[in-house]
Structure 1
Amino acid sequence: MAVKIFFEEFITGAQRTTTGRTITEADIVLHAGQTGDFYPHHMDAEWCKTQPFKQRIAHGTLIFSVGVGLTAGVINDVAMTYGYERLRFLTPVFINDTITTTITIKEKRDHKKPGFGIVTELLEVYNQHRQLVLVCEHLLLVQKKELHG
């Protein structure tokens, strides 16, 4: 679904939560193949049994990708991703864990480019136990309404 949400229309503190997505073994294997990250923490079930978590851990970059992907249900025609900041992997995600992402509008500020502002979204990814597994800030470059009446 495409919408137009201009800079002025974002409300600091507004929040939404995505639907869930279960992380599968296939996700981990595919991500390893795409990235070349075949570390035993992700791929070697027997070795992982000797480690503190006793099971394979999903790649942090996989959880970041899926967590962000869950937020992309609406296309804003007047905004684009400007980048991500303050990314942290807080708790491991395992095969068959289900994650959701909560998005909170953290702040708004003007951008040096006339007619645009930066909207900072706080992304918090949780597992099915409501444990925070990942946090980051998503920066959006958003057109101002004043130029488009």
Structure 2
Amino acid sequence: MATQYFDDYVIGAERKTHGRTITETDFVVHAGHSGDFFPHHMDEEFAKTTPFGRRIAHGTMVFTIGVGLTASEINPAAFTYGYDRMRFVKPVFIGDTIHTLLTIAEKSGDPKRPNVGRVVERGQVLNQKGETVLVFDHILMVERGIPAVV
């Protein structure tokens, strides 16, 4: 990705990632890293008694993988300020393939730093059926600079 400065971002611009299939290994590794061994994720027999009828992916794992998919392009003039408005909309199961769609939703100045602006990317993680499984806002601090020549 070429360097994009604050003024280069366009409201409504979209970027879609490639897909990633969720595996049993993802469940086990994420449980080990996070310490979340809740039976909803790890116990197939227990999960059969839930409304979903099978194990569901950790929401934090779906977020981590969904955001990780977006890291294929790095803008040296931007850095993450944080995430807001995250919701786990639908469950993700072993065998589901997810991808992330980012849409530039907002731009504003930064009240503390005149040399940067804030850009909000609205993220949607979607499954192979096109259903939204997770939503979030990713806030970027982006340098103001000379806009790219188009």
Normalising by structure 1, we get a TM-score of 0.95
Structure 2 match to 1:22 = 21
Q: How does 1:1-149 map to 2 (within 5 A)?
A: 3-112=2-111, 113-146=113-146
The CA distance in 2 between the partners of 1:35 and 1:127, in whole Å, is 23
Deviations 1:2-60 (A, max 9, x none): 53110000000001111000010100110000010000000000111111111100000
Measured against aligned partners, the alpha-carbon deviations of 1:68-103 in whole angstroms (never above 9, x if no partner) come to 011111111010000000000000000010001000
Fraction of identical pairs, as percent: 53
- Whole-angstrom CA distance in 2 between matches of 1:42 and 1:144: 44
The AA in structure 2 aligned to 1:77 is: P
CA distance in 1, matches of 2:131, 2:12: 21
Q: Structure 1 runs of 4+ off > 4 angstroms?
A: none
**TM-score normalized by the length of structure 2:** 0.95
* Matches of 1:141 and 1:3, distance apart in 2: 17
Q: CA RMSD in A?
A: 1.2
Deviations 1:82-132 (A, max 9, x none): 000000000000001000100000010001201100000000000001111
Does structure 2 retain, via aligned residues, the 8 Å contact 1:3–1:74?
Answer: no
Corresponding pairs, count: 146
Q: 2:85 and 2:14 mapped to 1: Cα distance?
A: 19
